[in-house]
Amino acid sequence: MADIRLWNTKTRRKERLDPIDSGNVRMYVCGPTVYDRAHMGNARPVIVFDTLFRLLRHVYGADHVTYVRNFTDVDDKIIRRAEESGRPIGAITEETIRWYHEDMGALGVLTPTHEPRATAFIGEMIAMIAGLVADGFAYEAEGHVLFAVEKYAEYGALSGRSVEDMIAGARVEVAPYKRNPMDFVLWKPSTDDLPGWDSPWGRGRPGWHIECSAMSLALLGESFDIHGGGNDLMFPHHENEIAQSRCAHPEGEFARIWMHNEMLQVEGKKMSKSLGNFFTVHDVLEQGVPGEVIRFVYLSTHYRKPMDWTAEKARQAEKTLRKWYAQAAQGAAEGKPYVGVVNALSDDLNTAKAIAECHQLSLADDVSTLRYTLQLLGLMEDEVPEWAKSPDVDLSEHEARLAAARAAAMENKDFSEVDRLKAAYLAAGVEVRMSKGGVELVPGDDFDAAKLEASI
């Protein structure tokens, strides 16, 4: 069994994953707020933790891993979108969840074990809040219920901030009903025209942070193995999750290992609508970029490093995947992924190294191992996708011509004709493969038959 080691944000060191129960390895990842399509930055944690999910399933068995990724389907952003559009909230959230599944599915993302919706766990949230109030960790004020951060001595440990520093750096207007500027909302009142549920504190709706604590408790228990998300969630969302969960259930550990991915840039700049470089996943797919290509580009950078999406990276990724798919398609029906890739993933999910190992597999022409290694990375299903299939072109005469030129060159030591032919084939979009076994010409996506005939 592979020895998986992961960087724990909370302890700031790489730690061995020792599951609480190896028969049920448990992971929670914060999912989307469903009011609009997922943008390219949203896709990064999805791909990162899908890859970890695949690794855990490979190591412990598919039936021994529980992965929870939630949908936030009650939120002020959703309410505003409903007001702006005049559409019912339910119609917006259902449509957005469908979009999300379609777009993430195109990126080769597996469906998590559970995808809970916040609105289905309101009762669990109310119960957790009531317990926090009863135990003195939370208080009611003007129809709100707030968590008292001073009651949790370790508040700020995850992000490395002190409460004093957080207060000093706060630039938001502090609500007058808060005892401490850093206290956060667990429950807030709702008017009759807004979504709301009956509670001991009146009709209202939950704050954002409590939902993840309630859903992870219901589906994973008081202690589980891994909690993940983007590093933009470290504070305040994850910090608040820890505080309320540990106070609600002090006998539990909540999450043992915390993992955070870095952010995404586009062509070297922060993604922004004002810069014109803001893209949804759907936008990029509609531009003709295959989902596997998007995934490949993301995997090429370690999750704890900033990632730059560029058109050139996508072009190179597509070229590489075409080559790999052509090789992997020749692999046997049964096999297993390369141990070098499994080891790379087991070392803090080093996907960049895993991709490098795949390059070596391709050079070695180990087609069966390459096939199952790509499947582990979520880069290939059982069949080669249509976009990656080479054009149906007969280049056998050209292969014979190049083979004859190479044989002659081996005799007279003059490789000028071989070099000329290779240059012509490459210019026409044909990949040249030469080995002891012979010569193979593979037309690429940019194959130009007219250019080939004109240059030979």
pLDDT in tens, 215-240: 999 999 999 999 999 999 999 999 99
417 pLDDT higher than 90: yes
pLDDT of residue 394: 82
Residue 355: partners with Cβ closer than 8 Å, 6 or more residues away: 296, 299, 300, 377
168 pLDDT higher than 80: no
β-strand partners of 7? 14
Give yes or no for a contact between 115 and 34, defined as CB atoms under 8 angstroms apart.
Answer: no
Per-position b or e across 142-167, b if 16+ CB within 10 A of its CB? eebbbbbbebbeebbebbebebeebe
Domain with CATH 3.40.50.620 in the chain: 5-264
Measure the CA–CA gap between 425 and 453, rounded to whole angstroms: 10
pLDDT of residue 393: 77
pLDDT of residue 415: 93
Three-state DSSP class for 214? helix
Q: Picking from 244-248, 298-302, 431-435, which range would have the lowest pLDDT averaged per residue? A: 431-435
Average pLDDT over residues 168-175: 62
Q: Picking from 12-26, 43-57, 191-205, 369-383, which range would have the lowest pLDDT averaged per residue? A: 369-383
Structure-token pair, residue 117:
């919706």
More confident residue, 248 or 449: 248
Average pLDDT over residues 50-79: 97
Residue 436: partners with Cβ closer than 8 Å, 6 or more residues away: none
Average pLDDT value over all residues in the chain: 93
Q: What Å distances lie between residue 354 and 65, 107, 343, 358, CA to CA?
A: 22, 18, 8, 6
- pTM for this structure? 0.87
Percent of the chain predicted with pLDDT > 90: 82
Among 32, 77, 78, 49, smallest CA distance to 212 is for 32
Neighbours of 283 (CB within 10 A): 14
pLDDT of residue 167: 67
Task: Kindly indicate the confidence band of residue 318, based on its pLDDT and cuts at 50, 70 and 90.
Answer: very high
pLDDT of residue 13: 98
279 pLDDT higher than 60: yes
Task: Kindly indicate the confidence band of residue 6, based on its pLDDT and cuts at 50, 70 and 90.
Answer: very high
pLDDT of residue 332: 80
Percent of the chain predicted with pLDDT > 70: 97
Three-state DSSP class for 204? strand
Q: Which fold has domain 5-264?
A: Rossmann fold (3.40.50)
pLDDT of residue 34: 97
**Residues 186-218 pLDDT 10s:** 999 999 999 999 999 999 999 999 999 999 999
pLDDT of residue 446: 78
